Structure 1
Amino acid sequence: MATLNNALDAIERYIGFPRSRSSGVSRRLQESGILPSGAPGVAPELDQRDVCLLLATLMSAPKLHEAVDHARAYAAMTPGGAVLSPDAPDSIPRSALEYLELKSDIALGGDPDAIDDVRGHRFEFVHGWRELSAHTPEGTVTRFVLPGALASHQQAPHRIAGVVKGEAFANLMKDLF
């Protein structure tokens, strides 16, 4: 478990996202109950899922009042915008958040080949609409969008995204966990 302050410091160190901005976003997520709040005199502790959610929300660059909606969207976005039935295969990630959590587990695992694979990834968190694009070292792109949306179609005239290299993502997770 990592404290919220440690997570915000590590995100600034490895990803370059300024602490001045991340503090306000994390406070909004705490107020809505998405991130743990801690207790009087006890720092809030985040698990891997919480750190992945915080990173995704920060990198999607929402306006402060939209941070909660962005965070909830990452728990709902599916690969290709597929509407997944409850009996869909377990090999399909159920959400963008679950996918990021799986990649963080791999980054923390002991298999050097799998860790190298995560280090070769590139994660793009789109600003203008809800999308996570995961680029693998082999050139495969998996796009997570809200169910029913067309992942193959750009949803606005311009596409701007916050990019996190797999190397930075793996280093962030190793530092915190």
Structure 2
Amino acid sequence: MANLAATVAAIEKYCGFPAARIRTVAERLLEAKLLEPGAPGVAVVIGPADLALLIFGLASGAPLRAVADRTADLCSCVPDGIDVNVMPEAIRSTQRTAFDVLHDIVWNAAHGDGQLRFDVEVVETFPEVSFRTPDGVARFQPAGSLSGHWQSGKQRCATTIPHSALLLAARNLFSEKN
């Protein structure tokens, strides 16, 4: 577990987001109760799940007034927009969200062998998260969206965070070796 100041420094150093934007996004996520606040006189504690939320909030490119809502939208995206909750229970698989995958990547980078090597691409113009490897791409979109189709009339604008940046930030913050 890390404090907010260490998290801001690690994200700025390894992922390249400005420190002021990181602090403001963290504040908005705290206000929306997506991040758990610290007690009076106690700093906010950031874990791997909180780092995943911050990464989504920062990469979303959303205006600050809407960053918490956009973060929640991105976290709930599912593979190819397929909502398994409408399937009969006998054949329903467990639903994995974009948040689950990013949390696994961060946790594996900090505590595992770091072999979950996915670059994370967050689309700014519509809710979509892509996890990229040299072998292919897994796209996560809101449940019920039409997979493989442009989700907006706007130009697609995205932020890609390389696996190496996530690996270094997570190890710097959460590795027991530090």
TM-score (norm: length of structure 1):
0.88
Q: Which moved more, 1:66-75 or 1:11-20?
A: 66-75
Give the secondary structure class of the aligned counterpart of 1:163: strand
Hey, what does 1:15 align to over in structure 2? 15
Whether 1:30 and 2:30 are equivalent positions in the alignment is yes
Shift in CA distance, 100/141, structure 1 to aligned 2, threshold 3 Å: same
How many Å separate the matches in 1 of 2:116 and 2:47? 23
Whether 1:75 and 2:71 are equivalent positions in the alignment is no
How many Å separate the matches in 1 of 2:37 and 2:97? 24
CA contact (8 A) 1:84 1:94 kept: no
Give the secondary structure class of the aligned counterpart of 2:84: coil
Amino acid at match of 1:35: L
Whether 1:97 and 2:94 are equivalent positions in the alignment is no
Hey, what does 2:119 align to over in structure 1? 122
Alpha carbon RMSD of aligned pairs, Å? 1.6
CA contact (8 A) 2:56 2:75 kept: no
How many Å separate the matches in 2 of 1:17 and 1:43? 21
Amino acid at match of 1:169: L
How many Å separate the matches in 2 of 1:102 and 1:9? 22
How many Å separate the matches in 1 of 2:75 and 2:159? 18
Runs (5+) with no aligned partner, structure 1: none
How many residue pairs match? The answer is 169
Runs of 4+ displaced beyond 6 Å: none
Runs (5+) with no aligned partner, structure 2: none
Render the CA deviation track for 1:12-38: whole Å, top value 9, x for unaligned: 100100011121111111011111110
